[in-house]
Amino acid sequence: MIWFFEGSDELSKMAIQSIENEENTCFISIISLWEIAIKLSLEKMEMKIPFDKLNSLIWENSFELLPIKFEHSKGLIKLPFYHKDPFDRMIISQAIVEKMPIISKDGNFKHYKIEQIW
C-alpha cells in the first residue's frame, strides 16, 4: 500500500496491474495500518507521505478497509508457524478466511494456502 501510494519502484509490475485493474476490489487490512502506526511510533519505519494522509489516499484510490473479524482470529489457532510476525499472520488468516489473494513480496507467504501476487 505504501509503495503504491508513494510510487515506489519496489512494487512489482504484476502488483501494480492488479491494484490498478478496475475489475478488482482492493482491500487493506486494518492490521496493516496498526502495524504502520506502531513502527512509526518506534521509529522503525519512515514514509514519504504523512500517516494522516493515508485515510484520504485509501478512499481516493477506492480501497476498502478490511476489519478484523472473530473468524480471522479463530483462523490463527490452526495457522502453521511458517511466519512468526503477528501482523503478517493475521493478514494471512484474513486472506484464508475471506478467500482473498495477498499482494506481498514476503517469501514466507508462499508456505500458506493463499494466492500471493507479486
- What would the pLDDT profile of 61-85 be if each residue is shown by its tens digit? 999 999 999 999 999 999 999 989 9
Query: Do residues 93 and 79 lie in contact, with contact meaning Cβ atoms separated by under 8 Å?
Result: yes
- Cα separation, 116 vs 110, in Å, equals 7
Handedness of CA 52, 65, 100, 39 (dihedral sign): positive
- Cα separation, 108 vs 118, in Å, equals 13
Query: Do residues 98 and 29 lie in contact, with contact meaning Cβ atoms separated by under 8 Å?
Result: no
HSE (side-chain half, CA atoms, 13 Å) at 91: 25
- Show the domains of the chain with their CATH numbers: 2-117 (3.40.50.1010)
pLDDT tens digits for 19-57? 999 999 999 999 999 999 999 999 999 999 999 999 999
